[in-house]
Amino acid sequence: MAALAAVRSFGASSQGNKGLLAVLSSAVRNLASAAQPAYAADTKEYQDALMHAKRLPAKLFIDGKWQDAVSGRTISVVDPRTEETVIEVAEGDAADVDKAVKAARKAFDFGPWPRMTAKERGRLLYKLADAMEAASEELAMLETLDNGKPIFYSRAADVPLSIDHFRYYAGWADKIHGKTIPVDGPYLAYTLHEPIGVVGQIIPWNFPLLMAAWKLGPALAAGNTVVLKPAEQTPMTALRLAQLAQEVGIPDGVINIVTGLGPTAGGAVATHRGIDKVSWPRGGARGGADRVSGGGSRAAHSVVLTASLPSLPPFCNNPHTDLHTDGQCCAAGSRVFVHEAVYDAFVTKSAEAAAKRKVGDPFGNVDQGPQVDSEQFAKVMSYIDSGKRDGAKLLVGGKRAGSRGYYIEPTVFADVGDHMRIAREEIFGPVQSIMKWKTLDEVIARANDTNYGLAAGVFSTNINAVNTLTRALRSGTVWVNCYNLYDGAVPFGGYKESGIGREKGEYALSNYTQVKAVYMPLEKPAWR
């Protein structure tokens, strides 16, 4: 417990010093690594996950058929625990996307999906959710094997939230309708909310199954057909989802899955003129606002405010240190502004919390798994290096964990300046940047001084401070005394460069429907 004592000593001083900081950092690292689990264990759960993965077809799913890429090429899916190949999947490119778009167009123009009753579409989406629930353990294992998040999170969050999302939109299928509008003259005017047509969807690697559900749910409920391109790092749950959709009777061509690389397969989806609407997680980056919707981020930034004014207790319990799973979350609370009255205590507790986190094999009892791949690992490490160079105080972590796999120690920086890269750019890793503030006007200006605005959190018992901050923060979501809640009925999206439009809830349906106005003459109406 010497490490924790050193942390408390640092927190007790309002200034700290470089010598004590070095002792604290070393002691905390020792504590964090003293009882780490294996980074890649050959457990039964891992073997089961590997079995499920090897059963997946190494093919594209187009027009209800599993087929090789036109080029015949494949790409490796790498286990982030070991850096070794798990399976090969087809490497689709522009030629394959073209085939998928034609299949989706045929299914939309001539197939049963947009022509069946809305209730029937809803019933099929409910059946898909039921099939996912029956395969939930398999899906959780594939998700963890694919991107390295702890199996606990896959079981408790990713899979059940995905299932709930399909059920939510299954219920919406027969509730998408227009309005009757009173107009001058003997006319009946009304609106129809119709499906757009063929939708191209590109999903990220941090929540592969959930992001597929976010995209597919409203698009399918509205009667569209889809060409979906999963991230090349994490294609496995999308392939399994296609199998389940076929098993429950969703017609051929309605869902098409093209695995492949971002610049080729993803670029083809983004630019194909046969696609009526494109949705991807980095809204606004390319394609134009008329063809792109996205509730995710271009570099989604999050801010967490711990507000303490004279009328408040001296410290907010359970300080937010969102090193959630492996930090690969678009709304991870990477920037934390802490009031000067509780700053030292918060820094202490944050360092303690990070030091206690278990990093290791995501199929074990751990808090944090590996980063998804070598590129993301290198990116996060580069941000850590920049924080050190810029003069932020590294309290915990900052190094690779283990000798194999893409593991990074939970990392906490204190005394971070607003100008530093770790305060201005999205790290997307287990790194926390803590900054001090004094007045509400000051912290509002600093928090909003960014190109991004996806999510924020406010922790305070001062209702006036809460009301001020929730309205002043330029952010698509503001959590108050809680964090990272995602109900399917609540919209999610950002301000500024953090996305166009909204995912989830009723709001997402507007991304996948278009409004048609209809006028009809009325002869001798009883009323108008």
pLDDT band at 297 (very low <50, low <70, confident <90, very high): very low
Contact between residue 99 and residue 59 where contact means Cβ atoms under 8 Å apart: no
Q: How far apart are CA 518 and CA 287, in angstroms?
A: 30
CB proximity list for 258: less than 8 A, separation 6 or greater: 60, 62, 92, 96, 97, 100, 227, 228, 229, 265, 269
Give the pLDDT confidence of 136-145 residue by residue, as tens digits: 999 999 999 9
Per-residue pLDDT, averaged over 314-338, amounts to 58
Q: Beta partners for 60?
A: 67
Q: Beta partners for 77?
A: 87
pLDDT band at 378 (very low <50, low <70, confident <90, very high): very high
Q: How far apart are CA 372 and CA 122, in angstroms?
A: 34
CB atoms within 10 A of CB 342: 21
Cα-to-chain-centroid distance, residue 439: 32
CB proximity list for 156: less than 8 A, separation 6 or greater: none
Cα-to-chain-centroid distance, residue 87: 24
Q: How far apart are CA 302 and CA 215, in angstroms?
A: 22
Contact between residue 393 and residue 380 where contact means Cβ atoms under 8 Å apart: no
Q: Give the distance between the most distant pair of CA atoms in the chain.
A: 91
Say which range, 23-37, 317-331, 392-406, 425-439, has the weakest mean pLDDT.
Answer: 23-37
pLDDT band at 37 (very low <50, low <70, confident <90, very high): low
Q: If you average pLDDT over each of 279-283, 326-330, 500-504, which comes out highest?
A: 500-504
Supply the pTM of this predicted model. 0.86
pLDDT of residue 370 exceeding 50: yes
Return the structure tokens found at 111: 């197939």
**Percent of the chain whose pLDDT exceeds 70:** 84
Is the model more confident about 316 or about 107?
Answer: 107
pLDDT band at 304 (very low <50, low <70, confident <90, very high): low
What residue ranges define each of the domains in the chain, with the CATH number in brackets? 44-295+501-514 (3.40.605.10), 299-480 (3.40.309.10)
pLDDT of residue 18 exceeding 80: no
pLDDT band at 9 (very low <50, low <70, confident <90, very high): very low
Say which range, 21-35, 38-52, 116-130, 206-220, has the weakest mean pLDDT.
Answer: 21-35
Give the pLDDT confidence of 458-471 residue by residue, as tens digits: 999 999 999 999 99
Nearest to 262 by CA among 205, 329, 209, 330: 205
| Residue 133 Cα distances to 64, 110, 241, angstroms | 22, 31, 11
So what's the pLDDT on residue 497? 87
| Mean pLDDT score of the chain | 86
Give the pLDDT confidence of 397-444 residue by residue, as tens digits: 999 999 999 999 999 999 999 999 999 998 999 999 999 999 999 999
180 three-class SS: strand
pLDDT of residue 283 exceeding 70: no
